Structure 1
Amino acid sequence: MEISLRELQDSDLPVFWKQLTDPQLQQMAAVTRKYHYDRNHFDQHWAKVRSDPAVIVRTVLADGVVAGHAAVFGPPSEREVTYAVGRAHWGQGVATAALTELIKLERTRPLHADAAADNAGSLRVLEKCGFIVAGRSRCFARARDKEIDLVRLTLS
């Protein structure tokens, strides 16, 4: 499977909406925002992301099909990565390949990431890309409607 990143296009947004509103993706990610549930908030979120020159956001393609998105955001000393891959592409190395390419675009270090402590897939992706566990905390996970353990990882 060929995995690549490209600039986000308007036609990607309906795919992202479908992916981010998938209840299984929400459960796995655990920490969700208003834009995972409300199309108006989703549209506002993506308009803000796309207008912020400090954000690097890319569409993830798997054999030419939109598989998800990956981004780097935040101030220089607090840069974070985030990514989401649709369920149809889970377990195929798509997220790992996408994150590998994304971190080549962002030279700032350290980079940070957070994942639910029980999200083994995401933790594995981050560790394969060189992130190491830097700490743990608790936070409210809207998708699960409860407090969860969160792992903080860093790429130096």
Structure 2
Amino acid sequence: MTINVTLREMITDDLPTFYEQQSDATANYMAAFTPTDPADRNAFTTRWLKILRDDNISKKTIIYNGDVAGQVLSFEHFGEPHVSYWIAKEHWGKGVATSALSKFLADSKIRPLYARAVKDNIGSIRVLEKCGFTITGEDKGFSNARGTEVEEFILKLDR
């Protein structure tokens, strides 16, 4: 089965959709590392407008069957290049994340590239591994979405 996923430049008009996607409580729980208050639309908009203006952040909107399904970004985090993505909950389990991340990585020559996933986010860990990442370490951090410290895997893509 072919997954109809494309990536395009991120635009300001994507922000209302991203806000709705990132307001989902289940999605926030799985992502774990989220803003303190995902419902704060002003903070959300301020943060994303800053991201859109930052030429050091590579950012793409994920389109699935013609709809905005999420985003994928690469940026510096803890002094190393990292990648992250967000897929709207209604698109989980369809191969959208794997397809989008694979396309993003094909266009990015930054290596090594790192990613982080909370240990119980099996779906995200599986996506990263399918795209060539391997678990290279562990860390802990405070999860706003969960209100507690959580354990996460650090993954690395060398090739």
Q: TM-score, with normalisation over the residues of structure 2?
A: 0.93
Give the Cα–Cα distance (whole angstroms) in 1 for the partners of residues 136 and 23 of structure 2.
Answer: 30
Give the Cα–Cα distance (whole angstroms) in 2 for the partners of residues 52 and 124 of structure 1.
Answer: 29
Of 97, 100, 106, 2:99 maps to: 97
Give the Cα–Cα distance (whole angstroms) in 2 for the partners of residues 7 and 56 of structure 1.
Answer: 9
- Tell me whether 30-39 or 96-105 shows the greater mean CA deviation: 30-39
In structure 2, the partner of 1:81 is 83
Q: How does 1:109-148 map to 2 (within 5 A)?
A: 109-148=111-150
In structure 1, the partner of 2:54 is 52
Query: 1:11: Cα distance to partner?
Result: 2.0
1:155 is aligned to 2:157: yes
Query: 1:35: Cα distance to partner?
Result: 6.5
Give the Cα–Cα distance (whole angstroms) in 1 for the partners of residues 142 and 86 of structure 2.
Answer: 19
Q: What's the secondary structure of 1:130's corresponding residue?
A: coil
CA contact (8 A) 2:34 2:144 kept: yes
Q: What's the secondary structure of 1:74's corresponding residue?
A: strand
Give the Cα–Cα distance (whole angstroms) in 2 for the partners of residues 4 and 81 of structure 1.
Answer: 17
- Tell me whether 104-113 or 117-126 shows the greater mean CA deviation: 104-113
CA distance 1:110–1:31, change in 2 (3 Å): same
Deviating 4+ runs (over 3 angstroms): none
CA contact (8 A) 1:58 1:70 kept: yes
Greater helix content? 1
CA contact (8 A) 1:34 1:41 kept: no
User: Aligned-residue CA RMSD in angstroms?
Assistant: 1.3
Query: 1:138: Cα distance to partner?
Result: 1.3
Of 8, 11, 35, 2:10 maps to: 8
Structure 2 letter corresponding to 1:52 = D
Q: TM-score, with normalisation over the residues of structure 1?
A: 0.95
In structure 2, the partner of 1:39 is 41
Identity over aligned residues, as a percent? Answer: 40
Unaligned 5+ runs, structure 2: none
Query: 1:10: Cα distance to partner?
Result: 2.2
Q: What's the secondary structure of 2:110's corresponding residue?
A: coil
Deviation track 1:46-95 (CA, whole Å, cap 9, x = no partner) reads 111111111110100001111000011117x6110010000110000000
CA contact (8 A) 2:136 2:156 kept: yes
Deviation track 1:9-47 (CA, whole Å, cap 9, x = no partner) reads 222111100011100100111111247331111111111
